[in-house]
Structure 1
């Protein structure tokens, strides 16, 4: 019986002594004792919350307004950034398309150059083959032309000799005969000039030039 009373007395002591002794675990179990400031007993009695402070309310209102303005600015900046990013993406796609087209043009030009080079090679091969085929014929034609021109030169030399003989004979004849022979010689020369082919005979017609003339 005495032991039970002693335990009860200790329990009561601990409950009422928890505030001045700052016993934390008892506050957690039994709760913290409310102070006079919280209950409003120090303000002339009468419980209830403290009256609002106008300065604090004004400061809170200003902070809320600033937060709202900052939020609006952040939203606008986000829209601007999104717009710029879309424009940059579009420009990047356009530049990539231009680069692709230009690269295709370069490839096409290189292919055209290759085909032109191939055609020129084929043309040079054809020309060489034709030259090889024509070479024996041209040499034969040149031989014929040289023989013909050599014969013409010999005929001219004979005519010159005949002219010299005629001049010697004219010295013995009268002046009248000499004049008549000179006139006949002039007429014969004009006729010979008309009958001769221009530009050196066959050589001129074939475009080989005169004898002894280099291309």
Structure 2
């Protein structure tokens, strides 16, 4: 019992026709003065071409070989799928490689380097300007705080001088009070002595 579909037979016959046509075109493409000089060389070339064609046909038969369930051989199916996945992976890797190479070329470009230097200098200038602008309120606050501390220090000095003046005035007042009391006592003694003399005279 044959398990090979009819379409595979037709494909094989079509493939043989194509290979025969290919041989004919290959023979026609060789200039007349450069064709094989002997039938022996021509025979060798035809054998080589036939070997290649047989190998291709054999591979094609293996790939199109089906089991009695009507499915491709699992090993061949897995091999095809693995090769397909590998091919897709290679495509992605090649695309990424091209992107990486383009990026590398762009970074190695002098214009790109100059542009990056300009952008870096601009960013650095913007950072310095931002620091200066953000420092201004802090500087103002610091100056106000310093002014306030200076004013407070001056007020403390004035208060200390005022307290010293009050202390001096208090001491002077006490001295005046003592002096006034001493004079008052003397005057009182004089009055008492005078009153005593008057009493004596009256007697």
**TM-score computed with the length of structure 1 as normaliser:** 0.38
Larger Cα-atom Rg? 1
**TM-score computed with the length of structure 2 as normaliser:** 0.39
Higher helix share: 2
